[in-house]
Chains A and B, each alone.
Chain A
Amino acid sequence: AQSVTQPDIHITVSEGASLELRCNYSYGATPYLFWYVQSPGQGLQLLLKYFSGDTLVQGIKGFEAEFKRSQSSFNLRKPSVHWSDAAEYFCAVGAGGGGNKLTFGTGTQLKVEL
């Protein structure tokens, strides 16, 4: 069965600093990988996704992620964080075989210091 690990429960960065959120996955075949963001009291919003092709994926709000098969990682990055980026970030892997079943990591809570 697939699984996702987000090693950092909380991360604090200063506004304007760079950001990297870590995600490691376990899946036998080529994974379908996603990053979602959740603001307080809100549902999940998709930031970006990877299925195949270029391993560097661009998303919304200036985020990007790089798929590294050798490290089973799909880390999320942003060169300059804004205060509005404070939220919880979830990495997820698709099960494959159809059906849209996602397995999520435990999330990383991002705090941005002004």
Chain B
Amino acid sequence: KAGVTQTPRYLIKTRGQQVTLSCSPISGHRSVSWYQQTPGQGLQFLFEYFSETQRNKGNFPGRFSGRQFSNSRSEMNVSTLELGDSALYLCASSLEGHDTDTQYFGPGTRLTVL
């Protein structure tokens, strides 16, 4: 079974632009979570989607948004990019998003904001 895939793997943007990142979960997984990883703040939870609905949200500004499609694929969008948004964005999928479900992580999208 294929793992979690994220596209693109690397992205360079300039301040003020917006960006969309994509995540394809493992087949059959219905929950998709997004995390931001930076050297200063570490790994931080952004949001989780299940059945096309945002079920959990972390403490990030409204510039960070996401959505999930009927096939469980998910996208996250960051508008009005800031230098501090430079990070590795990780997507994780799990079967149903229960606390006991294992989350499987993708390789991440490395976003650089200039």
Contact = CB atoms under 8 A, between A and B. Distances in A.
Nearest to B46: A101
Nearest to B103: A100
B98 A98 contact: yes
Contacts of B106: 43
A14 interface: no
B100 interface: yes
Interface residues of B, number: 28
B43 A46 contact: no
Of A42, A44, A104, A107, the most chain B CB neighbours within 10 A belong to A44
Contact of A100 (B4, B56, B107): B56
Interface residues of A, number: 26
Interface in A28-75: 32, 36, 41-46, 49, 51
A32 to B, nearest CB: 5
Contacts of B98: 98, 100
A101 B45 contact: yes
B16 interface: no
Nearest to B6: A43
